[in-house]
A and B are shown apart, each in its own frame.
Chain A
Amino acid sequence: MKIFRHFIILGLLLAPAPAVAFSSSSLVVDLSSNQIEIKTDFTGTNLLLFGAIDRKGDVVVVVRGPLRQEIVRRKERVAGIWINRAAVTFDGVPGYNFVASSRPLSQIASEETLRRLQIGSERLRLKPVGLADESLAAEFRTGLIDLKKREALYSGKPGQVSIRSAKLFRADLKFPSNVPTGSYTAEIYHFDSGKPVSVSRTKLSVQKAGVEAAIYNYAHEHSALYGIVAILIALFAGWLGGVIFRKA
């Protein structure tokens, strides 16, 4: 298995960097696991990302979760009470966005570069669906990012990537308990004097497993039967409770 992994790393080394072709700098990366399973005792998890760079520079790690549509609503005061009124729909919102870097992002690269690579929650290109007013969209975009941060789904601080002797680096990727299921990509950038010199991509997946997956799938695929089973369980539990305590 170990040898197999070495071959993969070797493959990564030899393969030309996909999509974004940078200069010849090489970057080797691996994850402690490519799969997160949500089981009954899941309370969030950490993955270790580690790798090596062949010359000095900064490392930025970006992990993004499954894209989906999100509707953001804003409360407004109507007749003395707060009610959800205006709503803006955004397309292509990552369910999870984790950014870690070896130094504060502003010291690593220019704002323009960061924006182009969508590094940092504030720089995600979130497009509102069918809405012309840019100032309103900007306000709701800030609201969306703030919500995701409060849910601990958008996170990351500078300094979470540690580089040892200008060669080896590691970062802890944090996944909270409410992490959405689906496929994720981890992008690792090697910056040298403000320029991205190398990039590596890895995929990982988050899935419900065991009982959790069974219950969730049953609820969605056989919702009528699920309802009946839920009622039967409740009837039985209520009856059992009555019987046990009558005798006691």
Chain B
Amino acid sequence: MGRFLGKAANFLAVWGGKAQKAAPDDPNPRFIHYLNCIWPPMDLYFPIAEMSINVLLLLALGGGVGMLSGMFGVGGGFLMTPLLIFIGVPPAVAVGTEANQVVAASVSGALAHWRRGNVDFKMGFILLLGGFLGSSFGVWIFTKLRALGYIDIVISLCFVTFLGIVGGLMVAEGARSWLRSRSSNPAPFKKLHKHTWMHGLPFKMRFRRSKLYISALLPLSIGIFVGILSAIMGVGGGFIMVPAMIYLLGMPTSVVVGTSLFQIIFVTANVTFLQSVNNQTVDVLLALILVISSVVGAQLGTAFGSKLKSEQLRALLGILVLAVGCKVGFDLIVTPAHLFSFAVSGGH
């Protein structure tokens, strides 16, 4: 009891700014310092990242991102990778480890969707084929760029571009549907299928679950494209794959998330494997902690998300995605505080 009171007093004192202030070189955000007053600091040394990180900070990050991914149905890799880099994890390790974490996150989500029959396996396999080709090529590009020293800038530019586009589209659509519901006009009539040049492509295939009859080349090329990005950026690619499936392929929304998650498992597993072999940048210990916290967070997020309207959700996610994109973009433009940096040397 006395110990508890002591801790509580310490906690209050720190809130009041009177007691043991965080050291100026302490990399942890302030709230972690407050948390450490009631919970002893727990730093773990991560063997591949080669640094020690506060476990509470990691659990908070994993839980927070997991909650968002549960709410919005995205993997969360696009948020987690920049956050990991932000707390000082070497970018290459952040990307490799995040791919490993997304494997676990998408297995958990895909199983839930599979139970409800929301996975188009045929479509999934073709996307997957493309994904394998794309991600293998992506890891090759990653290794080349890393040797040239351009990897960090390419990761940043990819994030700015894709977060900007996807976030902008989501916010725009959320705003439009919000305005529509305000003016209480009925939604404009949408044709089930528009015929474009895409439907003239060869190798047509029937996708029963998605109610589509389209060329297999379309999902294949989307798979390749997202595979390349997922290898370079260390993300599952859900936030690009999902809009592509809805808007480019015209798949029904109900099967999109499940199918996307299904193929993300395999693509990120491939990335994990290739990153381990080529770059040794997958930290299993770091991935495990992120997995545990994000699985718990995702369940909380799912429960919370079901209380919000879908257009609200989409607009919120759009704002979030845009904000992350802006932060990464801002860092590219603003004169950095330190111009010099170390490159990872080849042989050591």
Q: Which residue numbers of A lie inside 8 Å of B, CB to CB?
A: 38-44, 68-75, 77, 80-84, 87, 89, 140, 143-144, 146-147, 150, 152, 177-178, 208, 211-213, 215-216, 219-220, 223-224, 226-231, 233-235, 237-239, 241-242, 245-246, 248
Contacts and interface: CB of A to CB of B under 8 A. Distances in A.
B189 to A, nearest CB: 39
Given A43-B52, A231-B269, A237-B288, A72 B340 contact: yes
Contact of A239 (B107, B152, B277): B107
Contact of B340 (A40, A41, A146): A146
A43 B45 contact: yes
Contacts, number: 178
B48 A215 contact: yes
A147 B338 CA distance: 9
B291 to A, nearest CB: 5
B99 to A, nearest CB: 9
Nearest to B150: A84
Interface string B310-348: 000000000000000000000011011011111111011
A223 B282 CA distance: 10
B268 to A, nearest CB: 8
Given A234-B101, A241-B295, A71 B345 contact: yes
B210 interface: no
A177 B50 CA distance: 8
B340 A144 contact: yes
A82 B45 CA distance: 32
Contacts of B48: 215-216, 219
B117 interface: no
Interface residues of B, number: 58
11 contacts: A43-B45, A69-B348, A73-B341, A74-B340, A140-B340, A215-B48, A228-B273, A230-B284, A233-B288, A241-B296, A242-B112
Contacts of A215: 47-48, 284-285
B345 A219 contact: no
Contacts of A241: 104, 108, 291-292, 295-296, 298
Given A84-B152, A223-B276, A224-B277, 10 more contacts: A42-B45, A74-B340, A80-B333, A82-B332, A82-B336, A211-B285, A231-B269, A233-B288, A234-B100, A241-B298
B333 A177 contact: no
B251 interface: no
A129 B291 CA distance: 43
B153 A84 contact: yes
Contacts of A178: 50-52
Given A84-B152, A237-B104, A239-B111, A73 B340 contact: yes
Contact of A242 (B108, B273, B336, B343): B108
Contact of B342 (A70, A81, A219): A70
Contacts of B106: 238
A177 B52 contact: yes
A40 B104 contact: no
Contact of A219 (B44, B265, B282): B282
A68 B149 contact: no
B228 interface: no
Interface string B102-118: 01111110011000000
A147 B341 CA distance: 7
Contacts of B295: 237-238, 241, 245
A71 to B, nearest CB: 4
Contact of B343 (A71, A211, A239, A245): A71
Interface in B265-301: 265, 269, 272-277, 280, 282, 284-285, 287-288, 291-292, 295-296, 298-299
Interface in B206-227: none
B45 A238 contact: no
A38 B292 CA distance: 24
B101 to A, nearest CB: 7
B337 to A, nearest CB: 10
Nearest to A95: B348
Nearest to B107: A238
A105 to B, nearest CB: 23
A4 B230 CA distance: 59
